[in-house]
Amino acid sequence: MRNVKMLYFAWLRERIGVAEEDLAVPDGVITIADLIAWLRLRSAGHLAAFTTTTSLRCAVNQDFATPETLIATGDEIAFFPPVTGG
């Protein structure tokens, strides 16, 4: 198990019901894609938040991440919708 800090923004926070949580991630969860699959199993709110990932962005330690990005103990992982600017 590895401990990570999760941050949820906008509609993800609303669906999950918390803005952040500290989680012990199983050893088999090594990428962002693995993490999303595991998070879907945690609660109905997590499932609702991660059912569709096409409109989802992720950052690990404040750097943009892809589904293939590896996660490590102590990482801060943030999920948020795409941001638009003008």
Question: Residue 63 belongs to what domain range?
Answer: 2-80
Q: Exposed, middle or buried: residue 65 (CB in 10 Å: 0-12, 13-18, 19+)? A: buried
- In the chain, % of residues over pLDDT 90: 86
Residue 86 maps to a domain: no
For the chain, what is the domain count?
1
Please state, in angstroms and as integers, the Cα–Cα distance from residue 64 to each residue in 22, 45, 51, 56, following that order: 20, 24, 20, 11
Structure tokens at 54: 């096409």
User: What span, in angstroms and rounded, lies between the C-alpha atoms of 32 and 24?
Assistant: 14
Note whether 35 and 77 are within 8 A (CB): yes
Cut 0.75: pTM above it: yes
pLDDT in tens, 28-56: 999 999 999 999 999 999 999 999 888 89
pLDDT for res 85 = 57
Residue 41 maps to a domain: yes
Residue 85 maps to a domain: no
The CATH number for 16's domain is 3.10.20.30
